[in-house]
Chain A
């Protein structure tokens, strides 16, 4: 029964955690500019993220250790230092983008400028992290995150042409703007395969005391949970393709995206978009802040755990406090939230090898994992993922320069 609950909660968590500001920005841009043509990049990213999430969860179940902890122990502090520093920058940028998403949603609901909300949002997130337990965070953000299913309802309601949607699931060359097409494709992949996701997931599995008996549950959470998240993201592409693309609206600003649900929900589509955006970003901001605190604590060997009293893991709590404060500065100084999001997604794609390669090496350590180590299928998939992450790392920044708007 407990495992069934874990499965349900894990799936809900994935639904809530998968769809964040990066997904909203990249999917809406993809649909508005290239209709269904970029669905394949979401499908590809989903397959990769399922494999990586499954591996990070399996690792935590088999070793009762989270990934940053294990990478530092296994490869040494010197090896881990460079990925750690890069990840710290990524954490701050992603957290800034998520806070930007919350501020923008509040701007849509109230009309006040984004800057007004930057510090209050950071303080509210901090209070939630300070007071709540891990399961309270998991339950509240994941259940509230179900509101993002409104994109799925809208996509079904709009009756998109099935054959075009299915065609979009296969890679194709764009008729115009190839640099922008590939930039959005890479950004979608960077948004889905977020580096923090694996560290958060494995640390969460340790917090929830998962052991080897949870390996099947972990597999189900990875496949069904990430699958659901992907369906919501594809639905966002479809809604943008049906509502915004025919009108010639390409999304250069979140104000344009806010119009996308109104055709299906005329009286509350605008509010629904704002609330979905706020909830998706709150869930993701909490995950990113915790992921950063987990990574710091595990790197330096501090006490860690969201279920501990802040007095028992003061340095862990200090990290998310400073992270929230630092990340809120982006909105405070007036950085454009959409541009920050797209920049962050491109950089996320660029640093993927630093996350994927050590993790994949660890997954082959039979001393550590015994029968839970990667098999032949996992290792073939792993090799493909490593090649993909290296290609993304090389092309993401040049594509951002020539294809980012």
Chain B
């Protein structure tokens, strides 16, 4: 009985683990939205003198790696074209904003950092709307 239960559990996990291309795209969008929100919060906390400059730069690097990976996943996806285009568009904006945030931090330009935070908020909001539509 225990053995049958365990086999059922594994089969259930395998069934839950199966994802359609669109579901995979939404997961990619979710990851990108999370990193956009992270960069927004990082920029805001830097403006409030709560985190050091080097932390912001390291977080931007980590986010860029995640955006790159998400970009690759989206490019290889078999999901709907319009969904892929929508995510790709937001990824491009986020990557550009991340580059600008790095420059703004290096130049200690507080206005530019605040602008980047707003851009990340906008990207997060659009990606979140895509996620809400799925739900």
The reply to whether A403 and B17 contact each other, CB–CB distance below 8 Å, is yes
Which residues of B42-87 are within 8 A (CB) of A?
42, 45, 48-52, 54-55, 57-59, 62, 66
The reply to whether B9 and A391 contact each other, CB–CB distance below 8 Å, is yes
With an 8 A cutoff between CB atoms, is A81 at the interface? no
Cα(A258)–Cα(B51), bound, Å: 9
Which residues of A250-276 are within 8 A (CB) of B?
250, 252-253, 255-256, 258-259, 262, 266-267, 269-270
Nearest Cβ in chain A — how far from B23, in angstroms?
10
Taking CB atoms, residues of chain A closer than 8 Å to B57 are 111
Nearest Cβ in chain A — how far from B60, in angstroms?
9
Q: Which secondary structure dominates where chain B touches chain A?
A: helix
The reply to whether A249 and B51 contact each other, CB–CB distance below 8 Å, is no
Cα(A110)–Cα(B55), bound, Å: 9
The reply to whether A247 and B37 contact each other, CB–CB distance below 8 Å, is yes
Cα(A108)–Cα(B62), bound, Å: 13
Contact with A along B1-15 (1 / 0, CB 8 A): 010001001100110
The reply to whether A394 and B62 contact each other, CB–CB distance below 8 Å, is no
The reply to whether A267 and B49 contact each other, CB–CB distance below 8 Å, is yes
With an 8 A cutoff between CB atoms, is B34 at the interface? yes
Nearest Cβ in chain A — how far from B59, in angstroms?
4
Cα(A256)–Cα(B45), bound, Å: 12
The reply to whether A401 and B17 contact each other, CB–CB distance below 8 Å, is yes
The reply to whether A262 and B45 contact each other, CB–CB distance below 8 Å, is yes
Closest to A402 in B: B17
With an 8 A cutoff between CB atoms, is B31 at the interface? yes
Cα(A247)–Cα(B127), bound, Å: 13
Contact of A248 among B10, B33, B50, B62 (CB under 8 A): B33
Interface size on A, residues (CB 8 A): 34
The reply to whether B16 and A255 contact each other, CB–CB distance below 8 Å, is no
The reply to whether A395 and B13 contact each other, CB–CB distance below 8 Å, is yes
The reply to whether B37 and A255 contact each other, CB–CB distance below 8 Å, is no
Nearest Cβ in chain A — how far from B64, in angstroms?
12
Nearest Cβ in chain A — how far from B76, in angstroms?
18
Q: Which secondary structure dominates where chain A touches chain B?
A: helix
The reply to whether A248 and B45 contact each other, CB–CB distance below 8 Å, is no
Nearest Cβ in chain B — how far from A335, in angstroms?
14
With an 8 A cutoff between CB atoms, is A86 at the interface? no
Give the size range of B's interface with the partner.
Answer: 20 to 34
The reply to whether A398 and B14 contact each other, CB–CB distance below 8 Å, is yes
With an 8 A cutoff between CB atoms, is A127 at the interface? no
Taking CB atoms, residues of chain B closer than 8 Å to A395 are 6, 9-10, 13
Closest to A258 in B: B55
Taking CB atoms, residues of chain B closer than 8 Å to A313 are none
Taking CB atoms, residues of chain A closer than 8 Å to B48 are 266
Contact with B along A144-186 (1 / 0, CB 8 A): 0000000000000000000000000000000010110010000
Contact of B30 among A178, A250, A262 (CB under 8 A): A250
Cα(A250)–Cα(B34), bound, Å: 6
The reply to whether B6 and A391 contact each other, CB–CB distance below 8 Å, is yes
The reply to whether A248 and B34 contact each other, CB–CB distance below 8 Å, is yes
Cα(A86)–Cα(B35), bound, Å: 36
With an 8 A cutoff between CB atoms, is A116 at the interface? no
Contact of A394 among B6, B14, B35, B49 (CB under 8 A): B6
The reply to whether A253 and B66 contact each other, CB–CB distance below 8 Å, is yes
Nearest Cβ in chain A — how far from B27, in angstroms?
9
Nearest Cβ in chain A — how far from B24, in angstroms?
12
The reply to whether A255 and B41 contact each other, CB–CB distance below 8 Å, is no
With an 8 A cutoff between CB atoms, is B135 at the interface? yes
Contact of A108 among B13, B31, B42, B55 (CB under 8 A): B55
The reply to whether A179 and B66 contact each other, CB–CB distance below 8 Å, is no
Cα(A247)–Cα(B38), bound, Å: 8
Cα(A269)–Cα(B52), bound, Å: 12
Cα(A249)–Cα(B16), bound, Å: 24
Taking CB atoms, residues of chain A closer than 8 Å to B13 are 179, 182, 395, 398-399, 402-403
Nearest Cβ in chain B — how far from A321, in angstroms?
32
With an 8 A cutoff between CB atoms, is B124 at the interface? yes
Taking CB atoms, residues of chain B closer than 8 Å to A255 are 38, 42, 55, 58-59, 62
Given contacts A249-B37, A390-B2, A395-B10, 13 further A-B contacts (CB under 8 A): A110-B54, A179-B17, A248-B37, A259-B41, A259-B51, A262-B51, A270-B52, A270-B55, A390-B6, A395-B6, A398-B17, A399-B13, A402-B16
- Listed by A's residue number, 29 A-B pairs whose Cβ atoms lie within 8 Å are A111-B58, A176-B135, A247-B40, A247-B41, A248-B33, A248-B37, A249-B34, A249-B38, A250-B31, A253-B66, A255-B55, A255-B59, A258-B55, A262-B45, A262-B50, A269-B50, A270-B45, A270-B50, A387-B2, A390-B2, A394-B6, A394-B10, A395-B9, A395-B10, A398-B10, A399-B13, A402-B13, A402-B17, A403-B17
